[in-house]
Amino acid sequence: MALPAVTSKPEDRVAIAQLGQALKTALADEKSPLRTFLNGDPQPRRAIERDLEPTEVDDLLRFGVAEQTENLLRPRFQAQLIGPHLVFSDLRQSMRVVRKTEERNAYVDPMWEGPTLSNLLVREPAESGLDMGCGCGVIALAMSTYCRRVVALDMNPRALMLARFNMALNGVDNVEVLESDLFSAVEGATFDRIVFNAPVGMELLPRNALESGEQILIRFFSALSKHLKSGGMLHMNVCVKEWSRASFATNLRAWLGENQRDFQSLFIELWRVERGFKFKVRRWLAPFVLPRQYGRLLHIRRGLLIAERNGVARHAETASAYDTWATSLGPRFGASLVKSLMGADPGKARAGPATAVLNTLDDDHRPLGGSVTTAIFNKLQNVPAAALL
């Protein structure tokens, strides 16, 4: 199975934007068969034409979003609404087909983590934003609403194809999509906001053994100071490793180099792995590709790293299953919570959830928001970054 391609051209931007608006209008009806179709399930053409004009259905075919067999429309991609934006990505079922082939590296995932991360961004007005590893563009679309200009980068040509299509689909014209290996396409450029949805790989293949691990992190953080402006903020969905002689906090400061004291950082742990066959393979491979002074691999953690270049040399950590509440509580709550955590005194007891954070919620969501805020602040601790051993 060959992964599909969008067949649009630059001169199609207006038609694509009109199609996007028609799709979003139809999706307002929760019973629309279009919802089922965009979720990846074939539908009769006549059912889709209840919500779309025949010419709009023809555009789905013309742009390669769907294909038709007799009277049945089959989606070639899937889509979902993320806030005000409609975003296309590869079908979930496509991964099952290509995961053991070379095409798995070209697969653009169906927004498993992007929507969650987008609800934890500090959405304050900024001049410039960078979406590193943009995938289908869900983060770049969110950044386009508060950054005057955005650059979206990825190494995967199919990700760039889908990101460009999604920008056109939503009528967004302040995002530039470029092929890049980390910062290679923006050498010399600086940004107020950087978001990096780093890849995660728990595969057993040696070439993937440290995907989004130290090798990528060292390259990224050693270049970060050249590209993040003073006062700028980084949001990073990341997989980190704890070692017997080098914690993540210690390594983070080492990777930032001579500018390490410029940065305040916060890590919110989502989950950790410290047992199982895949973990044992990772532990066995580690000494072959990393400095031995790190010691023994203790566990792998996934979470959200926020770093602000504000001259406050402090690293704090907490934990929360934010994937269970971020999308339901929304971006205003997420942004307010992150700002409160960055300004808090780690380890200091709090009487209760911050009023400013809860004021972002309606009455129905305040109980959940209160319990989330209380729990995450109670786990907030200052973590010293000792000298690298």
Q: Does 73 share its domain with 154?
A: no
More confident site: 103 or 292: 103
Task: Let me know if residue 336 belongs to a domain.
Answer: yes
Domain containing 253 — which CATH number? 3.40.50.150
Q: Please name the residue ranges forming H helices in 295-365.
A: 326-343, 355-358
Of 106, 134, 163, the residue that ends a domain is: 106
Q: Which DSSP string do the residues of 74-114 spell out, in sequence order?
A: EESSEEEEETTEEEEE--HHHHHHHTTSGGGGG-----SSH
Assess contact for 147 and 129: CB atoms under 8 A.
yes
> Is residue 207 predicted with pLDDT exceeding 60?
no
Mean pLDDT (whole number) for 162-191: 97
Question: Nearest Cα to 19, choosing from 88, 107, 112?
Answer: 88
Q: Which amino acid is at 92?
A: R
Task: Let me know if residue 62 belongs to a domain.
Answer: yes
Q: Write out the residue range of the structural domain in which residue 73 sits.
A: 10-106
Terminal-residue alpha carbon distance, the chain: 49
Task: Let me know if residue 226 belongs to a domain.
Answer: yes
Task: Let me know if residue 72 belongs to a domain.
Answer: yes
pTM over 0.85: yes
Mean pLDDT (whole number) for 184-191: 97
Look at residue 200 in the predicted model and tell me its pLDDT.
65
Q: What is the rounded distance in angstroms from the CA atom of residue 253 to the CA atom of residue 261?
A: 8
Name the domain count of the chain: 2
Mean pLDDT (whole number) for 210-217: 63
Place of tokens 């590296």: 105
pLDDT tens readout for residues 126-160: 999 999 999 999 999 999 999 999 999 999 999 99
pLDDT level of residue 289 (50, 70, 90 thresholds): low
CA quadruple 51, 56, 57, 61: dihedral sign: negative
Residue-wise over 32-56: b if at least 16 C-beta within 10 A, else e? bbbbebbebeebebebbeebbeeeb
Look at residue 380 in the predicted model and tell me its pLDDT.
95
Look at residue 241 in the predicted model and tell me its pLDDT.
84
Mean pLDDT (whole number) for 90-99: 83
Look at residue 268 in the predicted model and tell me its pLDDT.
98
Lowest average pLDDT, out of 97-101, 259-263, 312-316, goes to 97-101
Assess contact for 365 and 153: CB atoms under 8 A.
no
Of 63, 89, 106, the residue that ends a domain is: 106
> Is residue 206 predicted with pLDDT exceeding 50?
no
> Is residue 202 predicted with pLDDT exceeding 60?
no
Of 106, 133, 154, the residue that ends a domain is: 106
Coil vs helix vs strand at 379: coil
pLDDT tens readout for residues 14-29: 999 999 999 999 999 9
- How far out from the chain centre does Cα 16 lie? 24
Q: What is the rounded distance in angstroms from the CA atom of residue 308 to the CA atom of residue 343?
A: 11
